[in-house]
Structure 1
Amino acid sequence: MIHLNETPGDSRSPGVSPRFSVQVVFTQDFPSMRETFEAERQIKGWSRAKKRALIDGTFDLLPELARNHQVEQR
Structure 2
Amino acid sequence: MKISFVYILECADNTYYTGVTSNLEKRMIEHNTGAHSASYTAKRRPLKLVFFAEFSDINFAIMREKQIKKWSRAKKKALINGRFENLPNLAKKYFT
TM-score scaled to structure 2, two decimals?
0.58
2:82 to 54, 57, 60: 57
Higher percent of residues as strand:
2
Runs of 4+ that moved beyond 4 A: none
Q: Which has the larger radius of gyration?
A: 1
CA RMSD of aligned residues (A): 2.5
Q: Which runs of 5+ in 1 are unaligned?
A: none
Considering Cα pairs closer than 8 Å and 6+ residues apart, tell me whether 1 or 2 has the greater RCO.
2
Q: Which runs of 5+ in 2 are unaligned?
A: 1-18
TM-score scaled to structure 1, two decimals?
0.73
Superposed CA deviations along residues 17-67 of structure 1, whole A, max 9, x for unmatched, are 77534221111111211111100000000000000000000000001111x
Q: What does 1:30-69 correspond to in 2, within 5 Å? A: 30-66=55-91, 69=92
